[in-house]
A and B are shown apart, each in its own frame.
Chain A
Amino acid sequence: MPRIIVCLKYAIDVSQIKVDSATRKLLIADAPRKISDFDKNALEEAVKIKMKHGGEVIALTATAENASTALREALAMGADKAIQIQDPNIQNADTMMISNILAEAIRKIGSFDIILCGEASIDSYSGQVGPRLAEILGIPAVTYVSKVTLEGNTLTVERSLEDCSEVIMVKTPVLLTVTKEINVPRVPTLMDIIKASKKELLTWTLADIDFKGEKSATPSIKVIDVSAPKTERKRIKISGESPKEIAENLVKALIQEGVIGG
């Protein structure tokens, strides 16, 4: 009966980001947040494992803002318990700090068999927290997992890479990051949502998990700027008297660009 911890990111909904047209700065503070897409795949997989093998699913997040509605959604999707480490300092945390915070929270939770994370977050897509967390906890990690089978304390997973797919066996405790191919996250039923309101949702501070930040006194990196990308497209009209001439002019332009040989 495995205990599975799912790490969720309360990420920015990138489809709702607005840009200040004058400064090209992204208006991040106003953008709504949601559970990062691939983390939902992780949660769904955890719930599926629990449905098959029994056990417990705990949803965990580190957040500056109150993520309780998102965690309630995780509970509705099938998590048994949800915990948010909420602290304003997390606003500027880098992945190293986040991983350390999650590690401390997991140490406070106690024993576990499997940690599931999404392959990367939908807003940052850097895929660091999962592997970093595994290293901090001293457990093996398998990333980009597209299929999981549990038997006793051994996991057999399929991993999809660029040029091949691997079938890997690993013993618990282990951390996996999953791809969106692994499953289709369920839509919670209204009854699930009603039941979720009775499930445990805890808010811990950094003090509650004894996080003093020594492990990462200064953030390892600093974001200096985030702006909308420049879209400088040339918009050159290729014309000609005939299709033949147009085609020749186009080929000339592409050769000049250096994208076709010649």
Chain B
Amino acid sequence: MSTGEVWVFSENLDLALEMLSEGRKLADRLQTELSAITLGCNIKEQVEEIAKHNVDKVYFMDNPVFKSLQTEPYLSVFMELAARRSPEIILIGSTKRGRELAARLAARLKAGLVQDAFKFEIDERGMLTAARIVYGGNGVALITYQAKPQIATVPPRTFEKAKPFGKQANIISLDFKVDEPKTTVVEVRPAEVAKVRIEEARVVICGGRGVTKKEDFRMFEELASILGGHVGVTRPLAEDRKWFSEWVGLSGKKVKPEIYIGCGVSGMIQHIAGIRDSKVIVTINKDPNAPIFEVADYIVVGDIYQIIPALLEALKSALKK
């Protein structure tokens, strides 16, 4: 019987909510409490939002020192809270900041850390086991912890977002002394505003060598727009035809969308390596021997110039309902 809590933290609210659903499962399995940690500036709304999502406690601290998102202040709060609460499991959202925070926290706590875990189990000893991708995508490692706390980072969109449920969490304000940052943030430049990077796109439409003219990408743009996605290309269209500057593939961008639709993409291994994490792979190619058919979920042997327009129509009517 464990007494330590399961903690969930991310500076990214969506990611925090995703981890809460898995955190709930783990906490229930261990018969312990699930707590969310929220640290930031002017976060009252965020705290209340999280508190609605089937979590037992929300620890929070609202302080301008957290605004710059530097690690030392966060680290000091975690250390202080960990000393008092001896958490069982700490789940941190795997953003670049999160990965750094987790590693530094693990060092201070002399704890084990599994980065980018996508699956969790509790074993007979009541210890956590986590799965993660290793060797450049060639392997899945199953890792178990030997001591507590057991820390893991979780990538975005690994788990479904928790749904609002149950009674409001117990909201606890923390009143710790917080470490000052050891670095100075001189400037913050936002990345291209509102532009989702293809690596994070939910839907990716890729054009391959089967596309004859650059102008034909208009229909892919339309398809992407309807589905809320991004258009990409395979390497030959970027490097050889020079239609675009970036491409999807092993040496280019790696995507992990919910839906990948390959249009006139033959499926060279380097491209496959860039799309293999896609949830659903759809492919349309008129060559019945295209290698991509081996790694697809839904296969259409057909001419993209006929299928895509038909698909656009079918989607428009389906999504209207």
Contacts and interface: CB of A to CB of B under 8 A. Distances in A.
Interface of A: 12, 14-15, 17, 19, 26, 28, 94-96, 99, 122-128, 130-136, 140-144, 156, 161-170, 215-216, 218-229, 231, 233-238, 242-244, 246-248, 250-251, 253-255, 257, 259-262
Nearest to B199: A162
Contacts of B258: 259
B280 A254 contact: yes
B43 interface: no
Given A128-B115, A224-B143, A244 B314 contact: yes
Closest 8 CB pairs of A and B: A220-B112, A14-B136, A247-B310, A135-B107, A131-B103, A140-B182, A221-B112, A243-B310
7 contacts: A26-B139, A96-B110, A131-B107, A169-B184, A220-B106, A229-B138, A260-B318
A140 B183 contact: yes
B211 interface: no
Contacts of A234: 296-298
B184 A170 contact: yes
Nearest to A128: B103
Give the interface residue-count category, chain B: 35 or more
Interface in B272-321: 276, 279-282, 293-303, 306-307, 309-311, 313-315, 318-319, 321
A235 B96 contact: no
A236 B298 contact: yes
A169 B186 contact: yes
Majority-rule SS of A interface residues: mixed
A243 B286 CA distance: 12
Interface stretch (B28-36, B44-52, B187-195): B187-195
B307 A246 contact: yes
Nearest to A161: B96
B109 to A, nearest CB: 9
Contacts of A133: 107
Interface in B86-137: 95-97, 99-100, 103-104, 106-108, 110-116, 129, 132-137
B294 A235 contact: yes
Nearest to B130: A221
B89 to A, nearest CB: 13
B165 to A, nearest CB: 20
Majority-rule SS of B interface residues: mixed
Given A134-B107, A237-B301, A250-B282, 11 more contacts: A123-B134, A143-B99, A162-B200, A168-B184, A220-B111, A221-B112, A227-B139, A244-B313, A251-B314, A254-B282, A260-B315
B110 to A, nearest CB: 7
B191 A251 contact: no
A233 B297 contact: yes
A143 B112 CA distance: 20
B266 to A, nearest CB: 16
Contacts of A236: 297-299
Nearest to A131: B103
B138 A26 contact: yes
Nearest to A127: B99
A136 B97 contact: no
A178 to B, nearest CB: 13
Nearest to B200: A162
A227 B137 CA distance: 11
Given A169-B183, A250-B282, A251-B318, A226 B139 contact: yes
B147 interface: yes
A234 B280 CA distance: 9
Given A222-B146, A247-B314, A259-B259, A165 B189 contact: yes
